[in-house]
Structures are given as structure tokens and as C-alpha cells.
């Protein structure tokens, strides 16, 4: 059994960067990861502006989000094959160039069809950058310091989706929607220059192998159907719609066919054999459950703040943005602890901390002030790096060196899909919980006639008084519903904490498992 430290040391084969060169290279790789993850959420609050600018309906405007998500989800698991076929650094730089080019084309799009097409290409180019930035960061750091690399990567991965809506709202409100894409250009230029100058010596060996066309086609079919189903299910009343049922069948059949094909294909487009390693399986299960619950909370909180408490999109973003504060400070500590304490302890402890923050959210009400809402976000940042960094070390430290990039791609893929599942389930469950709570609240209302009389006595018409009471009921039921989702998310966190213990026993110094 290799230790976790030793397992992570395998990335540092050969000479590594030091000093300012290491700092600049790490900053550039982390920045590239940040801008790609940022683009998964930055357009969310800009949909009304985009729809207005292109003269389409808001529902049509949401395809700018769906198209990117589908393309990103498809390209992420291909990272292992692409990096083996073309080289990790070479494909990273190529993806950066493509991401920058299509960001520019998105910004100058004059029709919805142009924008959706370029968003697809932007997502295809951006998908591999997240897992590749992770593995390249671990490769450039000196032996024994890979946990610090994971800390840097984790900070950008967790902060970007939180800052995306804030930045998108500020840009759309004060400039114009194309700038949510144009801001990528200087960032991409800096990253391309620094990576090409500093990281090129860490290029991986190129393996010439044929393209698994059937595996690629099956991947596109099942992931595309699944992502579109998750993005459009709520608007189509889920499985009451033949459209959603059809997509679900395509996704299930496509996934089964894909799995059968990839396990028997000599040169698979996605190396699913990494699921033979118990530490990797434990890491993927735990991060998928925890990230799904985390993302559900991140998505629902701004919606509730805006729809119930009357916050603007920007102000709601300022509440959620506190998540990144302690995450930045806790990441180096969590990274150092990966080499000293049993990862299962630190990871499960971090996830249980997220459960406690869910419990704090359950005390929210329509009377909650700003700091009552912000406090769980401030404190939650303490636990995030412990589960995020530890799970990455646990999962990637469990596979052989030549499978690390493929494992990182699959882990990112599962995390991306879990975020989509968490969002879709949370919004649907919230609607259902609202309806259920409304039936209970309306049936137990007291003093309605007296309240109506008071409102009418103050000059309101009968209909205005009725509407005011209805708004109060809606606010209370929506709050009961969102608290119910926080309870469900907390339960999912506990399950995720238990999943960690599937991994082999060990501290970093005593042996967590490399299955190699």
C-alpha cells in the first residue's frame, strides 16, 4: 500500500518548478480553472438581458446555459483520452485558445442560434481545462507538496461558481451582456502565455491510438439527453411529459450501451477501469453526493432571497459570496493535513460540518436579517476545503500514475453531473414542498376576516387586502419549502460522510491506498 503522500508524490516525476516560476505557473493554471468554472454560472443571472438583446423569450435564452452545460459535461470525461493522444500541456493550451476564441464569438453573436452554437464550442473547449489544470498543478509542484497544489485548485473550483452570479449581475446591470464573455479574453491571454513558457517542459508522452468512434457517439447521446432532461424537466412537468420520458429512456439506454462498450473496447474513449480502485470509488461517491447537496443550497438560496425577501440578484450574491472567505484561509490548512491525518477522518469531518451549516439554515425565516443569512455561508467555508481537497487526494491517490488524468476527468464529470442533479431536484422539491405547505397553512389560518377588515380600514380595496394576505401566505410557504430542502441536503451530507469510509483504512503516513 502506498501512502497518500507517496501516492501524490508520483505526480512530481522529474524536475519541478520553484520560486517565482512555480508561483506564476500555479497562478496561471488556477486562473484558467477559475475562468472556466466561472462560465458555468456567470450567464445565469444575465439570461433576461441576453433574451432582450437578441429579441427572444427568457425560456429561449436559457439555452445559452443548457448548451454550455451539455458540451462541458460531454468533453470532461474525454480528457484522459485527449491528453494521452495529444499531450496534457499541448491540449491544455489548445483548449485555452479555443475557449478564448469562442468566448469572443459568443460576445459578438447577433442571433440566439449563433450564441448557442458558440456556447457549445466554448463548453467543449472549456471542459478539459478543469481536470487538466488539476493534474498539471500537481505535476509542477515539488515532491511532497502536491497537497498544496490541491489546495490552490480547490479554492478556485469552489469560489468560481459562487462569484459567477455576482459578477454576471454587476456586468449585465452596469455594462452589457456581451462583456460576460469578453472578460475571459485577457485572462485567457495571460494563462496561455504563462503556461506555454513555464509548463511546457512537463508535457506527457503522446500515445498514438485510434478514436473510439462508437464510444464517443454513445457518450454524446447519453450525456446530452441526460443534461437536457435535467435542464428542461421542471418546465415540462418532468415525467408527465413525453419529451422528458423520451430523453430519460435515451439517457438510460445510452448509458448502459456506453458502459458495456467501454468495458470491452481495447482502446476506450473513457477509461472506466479506474472504478476498480476502492479509494477512487469512495471519493467519487462522496464528492458527488456532497457536491450535489452543496450546489442545491447554492442555487436555492439566491432564488429564495430574490423571490421571497425581495433581494436583488446582486444583493443575493453578496450573501452567498461569503462562502469563499474562510475557504481561502482553510485550504492551506486542509492541504497540509492530508499528509498527517487519516483522510477519511478529515473528509467526513468536513462534510459533517456542511451538515451543521444546513441545520443553521433551517432556522431562517422571512424576518431573518442579513447577518443571520450570511453567517452559515461564512462558517461553511471552513469545512469545504477539508472535504474537497481530501476527497481529491483520496481518489487520485488511489489510481496508478498513467490513469490519473482519466480519473481526474471522470471525477470532474461526476461532480458536474451531481451539480446538475442537485439543482434540478432541489428546484422541483421546492415547488412540491411549497404546494404541500400551502395546503397546510391555508387550512390553519386564523383571523383572516379580521385582518381583511383592518387592511380595508386602512384604505385597501377588498381585492388588495386579499392579495396582501396571499403574498404573506406565499412567503411563509416558500420559506417552509426551502427549509425542507435544507433538511434533505443535510441528510445527503450525512450519507456522503458515510461513503468516505468505503475507502481503505489509513492515515497519510500509514497507508491510504494506492491500488497499484
For residue range 85-135, what is the model confidence (pLDDT) as tens digits? Answer: 888 889 999 999 999 999 999 999 888 889 888 998 998 898 888 888 888
Q: What angle do CA 80, 86, 91 make, to 5 degrees?
A: 75
- Whether residue 177 is predicted with pLDDT greater than 50 in this model: the reply is yes
Q: What angle do CA 85, 86, 88 make, to 5 degrees?
A: 105
Most confident of 141-150, 320-329, 394-403: 394-403
Is pLDDT larger for residue 180 or for residue 442?
180
Least confident of 220-224, 257-261, 326-330, 492-496: 326-330
pLDDT (0 to 100) of residue 511: 33
436-457 mean pLDDT: 58
Q: What is the CA radius of gyration of the chain?
A: 24
- Whether residue 445 is predicted with pLDDT greater than 80 in this model: the reply is no
Q: What angle do CA 341, 344, 349 make, to 5 degrees?
A: 90
pLDDT (0 to 100) of residue 154: 72
Percentage, residues of the chain above pLDDT 90: 12
Q: Which CATH architecture has domain 1-210?
A: Up-down Bundle (1.20)
Least confident of 264-268, 281-285, 425-429, 511-515: 511-515
Can you tell me the distance from the alpha carbon of 100 to that of 35, in angstroms, rounded to the nearest whole number?
10
Domain boundaries, the chain: 1-210, 212-268, 273-516
Can you tell me the distance from the alpha carbon of 385 to that of 353, in angstroms, rounded to the nearest whole number?
11
Most confident of 218-222, 385-389, 438-442: 218-222
Say yes or no: do domains 1-210 and 273-516 share a fold: yes
SS3 198: helix
Question: Given pLDDT bands bounded at 50, 70 and 90, which one contains residue 464?
Answer: low
CA–CA distances in Å: residue 322 to residues 274, 298, 308, 331, 353:
36, 11, 20, 15, 16
For residue range 349-403, what is the model confidence (pLDDT) as tens digits? Answer: 889 999 999 989 988 888 888 899 989 988 888 888 887 777 877 888 788 877 8
Question: Given pLDDT bands bounded at 50, 70 and 90, which one contains residue 425?
Answer: confident
Average pLDDT, the chain: 79
- Whether residue 506 is predicted with pLDDT greater than 60 in this model: the reply is no
pLDDT (0 to 100) of residue 3: 39
Is the Cβ–Cβ distance between 437 and 477 less than 8 Å? yes
- Whether residue 446 is predicted with pLDDT greater than 60 in this model: the reply is no
Start-to-end C-alpha separation, the chain: 8
pLDDT (0 to 100) of residue 455: 57
Question: Given pLDDT bands bounded at 50, 70 and 90, which one contains residue 186?
Answer: very high
Residue 78 in grid coordinates: 474525454
Can you tell me the distance from the alpha carbon of 426 to that of 415, in angstroms, rounded to the nearest whole number?
16
**Dihedral (CA of 11, 16, 22, 24) sign:** negative
20-27 mean pLDDT: 84
CATH number given to 273-516: 1.20.1250.20
- Whether residue 153 is predicted with pLDDT greater than 80 in this model: the reply is no
Can you tell me the distance from the alpha carbon of 36 to that of 134, in angstroms, rounded to the nearest whole number?
13
pLDDT (0 to 100) of residue 1: 33
Residue 406 in grid coordinates: 482519466
Residue 229 in grid coordinates: 432532461
- Whether residue 2 is predicted with pLDDT greater than 60 in this model: the reply is no
pLDDT (0 to 100) of residue 182: 92
pLDDT (0 to 100) of residue 59: 63
Least confident of 162-171, 385-394, 460-469: 460-469
- Whether residue 315 is predicted with pLDDT greater than 50 in this model: the reply is yes
- Whether residue 284 is predicted with pLDDT greater than 50 in this model: the reply is yes
Question: Given pLDDT bands bounded at 50, 70 and 90, which one contains residue 466?
Answer: low
pLDDT (0 to 100) of residue 294: 86
pLDDT (0 to 100) of residue 459: 62
410 φ/ψ angles, rounded to the nearest 5 degrees = -65, -35
pTM across the whole model:
0.76
Can you tell me the distance from the alpha carbon of 392 to that of 144, in angstroms, rounded to the nearest whole number?
16
For residue range 30-69, what is the model confidence (pLDDT) as tens digits? Answer: 889 888 888 877 776 677 778 788 887 766 676 777 778 7
- One DSSP character per residue, 213-276 reads HHHHHHHHHHHHHHHHHHHHTTTTTGGGSHHHHHHHHHHHHHHHHHHHHHHH-SS-SS-GGGGG
pLDDT (0 to 100) of residue 353: 92
Amino acid at each position: 500500500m502506498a501512502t497518500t503522500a507517496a501516492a501524490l508524490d508520483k505526480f512530481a516525476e522529474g524536475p519541478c518548478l520553484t520560486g517565482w516560476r512555480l508561483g506564476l505557473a500555479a497562478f496561471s493554471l488556477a486562473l484558467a480553472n477559475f475562468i472556466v468554472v466561472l462560465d458555468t454560472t456567470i450567464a445565469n443571472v444575465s439570461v433576461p438581458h441576453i433574451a432582450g438583446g437578441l429579441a427572444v423569450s427568457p425560456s429561449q435564452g436559457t439555452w445559452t446555459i443548457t448548451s454550455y452545460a451539455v458540451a462541458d459535461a460531454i468533453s470532461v470525461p474525454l480528457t484522459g483520452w485527449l491528453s494521452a493522444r495529444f499531450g496534457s500541456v499541448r491540449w491544455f493550451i489548445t483548449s485555452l485558445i479555443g475557449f478564448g476564441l469562442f468566448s469572443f464569438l459568443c460576445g459578438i453573436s447577433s442571433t440566439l442560434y449563433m450564441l448557442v452554437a458558440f456556447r457549445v464550442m466554448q463548453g467543449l473547449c472549456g471542459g478539459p481545462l478543469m481536470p487538466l489544470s488539476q493534474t498539471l498543478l500537481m505535476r509542477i509542484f515539488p515532491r511532497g507538496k502536491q497537497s498544496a497544489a490541491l489546495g490552490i485548485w480547490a479554492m478556485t473550483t469552489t469560489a468560481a461558481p459562487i462569484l459567477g452570479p455576482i459578477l454576471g449581475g454587476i456586468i449585465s446591470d452596469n455594462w452589457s451582456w456581451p462583456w460576460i464573455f469578453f472578460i475571459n479574453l485577457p485572462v485567457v491571454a495571460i494563462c496561455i502565455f504563462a503556461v506555454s513558457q513555464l509548463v511546457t517542459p512537463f508535457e506527457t508522452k503522446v500515445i498514438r491510438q485510434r478514436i473510439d468512434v462508437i464510444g464517443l457517439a454513445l457518450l454524446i447521446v447519453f450525456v446530452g439527453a441526460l443534461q437536457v432532461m435535467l435542464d428542461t424537466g421542471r418546465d415540462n412537468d418532468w415525467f408527465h411529459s413525453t419529451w422528458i420520458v423520451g430523453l430519460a429512456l435515451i439517457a438510460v439506454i445510452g448509458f448502459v450501451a456506453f458502459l458495456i462498450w467501454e468495458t470491452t473496447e481495447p482502446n476506450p474513449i473513457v477509461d472506466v477501469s479506474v472504478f476498480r480502485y476502492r479509494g477512487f470509488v469512495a471519493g467519487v461517491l462522496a464528492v458527488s453526493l456532497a457536491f450535489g447537496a452543496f450546489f442545491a443550497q447554492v442555487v436555492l438560496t439566491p432564488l429564495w432571497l430574490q423571490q421571497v425577501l425581495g433581494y436583488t440578484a446582486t444583493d443575493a450574491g453578496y450573501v452567498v459570496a461569503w462562502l469563499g472567505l474562510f475557504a481561502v484561509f482553510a485550504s492551506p490548512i486542509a492541504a497540509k493535513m492530508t499528509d498527517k491525518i487519516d483522510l477519511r477522518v478529515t473528509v467526513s469531518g468536513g462534510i459533517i460540518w456542511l451538515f451543521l451549516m444546513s441545520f443553521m439554515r433551517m432556522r431562517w425565516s422571512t424576518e431573518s436579517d442579513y447577518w443571520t443569512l450570511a453567517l452559515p455561508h461564512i462558517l461553511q467555508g471552513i469545512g469545504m476545503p477539508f472535504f474537497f481537497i481530501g476527497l481529491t487526494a483520496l481518489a487520485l491517490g488511489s489510481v496508478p500514475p498513467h490513469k490519473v488524468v482519466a480519473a481526474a476527468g471522470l471525477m470532474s464529470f461526476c461532480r458536474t453531473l451531481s451539480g446538475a442533479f442537485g439543482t434540478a431536484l432541489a428546484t422541483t422539491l421546492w415547488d412540491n414542498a411549497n404546494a404541500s405547505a400551502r395546503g397546510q397553512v391555508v387550512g390553519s389560518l386564523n383571523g383572516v376576516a379580521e385582518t381583511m377588515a383592518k387592511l380595508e380600514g386602512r384604505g385597501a380595496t377588498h381585492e388588495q387586502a386579499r392579495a396582501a394576505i396571499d403574498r404573506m401566505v406565499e412567503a411563509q410557504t416558500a420559506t417552509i419549502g426551502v427549509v425542507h430542502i435544507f433538511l434533505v441536503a443535510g441528510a445527503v451530507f450525512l450519507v456522503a460522510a458515510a461513503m468516505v469510509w468505503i475507502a481503505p483504512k489509513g492515515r497519510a503516513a500509514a497507508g491510504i491506498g494506492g491500488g497499484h
